[in-house]
Amino acid sequence: MKTENTQIMDFCCIHELVADIVSKIENHINDDYYSIGVVANPDIAHELIKILLTKQYDDIDFTLGSINFCDIESGDYVKEYIVTVTNDLQLWCEPMWSDTYNEYLIVEVNDMYIYESSNYKVMKNISVNNTLIFGFLDN
């Protein structure tokens, strides 16, 4: 893993996580290119995309780039997904694990959020300026 800064943080809920992501995108909206990656389990990745697509944030409407979700109900894929949010307001999602190469994907983004229960091996192929390992407070 190549990272300049790593932090650990608990959010109260997924909506606070989304607000943090949207705030960073707003701060970089005029940059040539800026992206945030979120590595999380299927349930969190699915909920994150759903919230970003259904909520309005100060004239920001996210659109789908490419979404590659395996059948969540079947349980065939239980590893992490990478959700990428770009400053051109597109959402991308794909499995983080590649069966073809038998390893986690190589990811280059500006900022990365990694859910606390993710396999530590996801960090091996990440090149990023800032990493935030996150969880949610117990209610």
Q: What is the pLDDT along the chain (139 residues), one digit of tens a residue?
A: 566 789 999 999 999 999 999 999 999 999 999 999 999 999 999 999 999 988 766 677 888 888 887 655 666 778 999 999 999 999 999 999 988 999 999 999 999 999 999 999 998 888 898 999 999 997 4
The model carries a pTM of 0.90
Domain ranges of the chain: 2-136
The rounded distance, in Å, linking the Cα atoms of 15 and 122 is 24
What are the distances in angstroms from CA 17 to CA 39, 48, 74, 80, 121? 13, 9, 27, 17, 23
